[in-house]
Amino acid sequence: MQPERCERVERFPDHMVRGSLKYVSYKGRKVVARDLRTIYQAPTLEAAEEGLAPFEAG
C-alpha cells in the first residue's frame, strides 16, 4: 500500500466535526458541535485560534 493512500484527508467541516464528536458525551454534543463548526469554518487561522479559547479554558 502506498503511504499517500493511507493518509485520510477529511475535506468537509461536517466530517471533521463528526469525527471529533465521538470523544464527547451525548449530553454535550450540541454545544461542542456548534463550537467546532465555528473553528473549522473560520476564514483565517487567527479566527480559528480564537475559537479554540473556550476549549483550552476547559
Q: Name, in order, each residue with C-beta under 8 angstroms of 29's C-beta and a sequence gap of 6 or more.
A: 21
In a domain, 33, yes or no: yes
pTM of the model: 0.62
Q: What is the DSSP letter of 43?
A: S
Domain, as residue range, for 53: 13-57
C-alpha cell at 10: 477529511
In a domain, 3, yes or no: no
Domain count, the chain: 1
In a domain, 39, yes or no: yes
Under-70 pLDDT residues of the chain: 1-11, 58
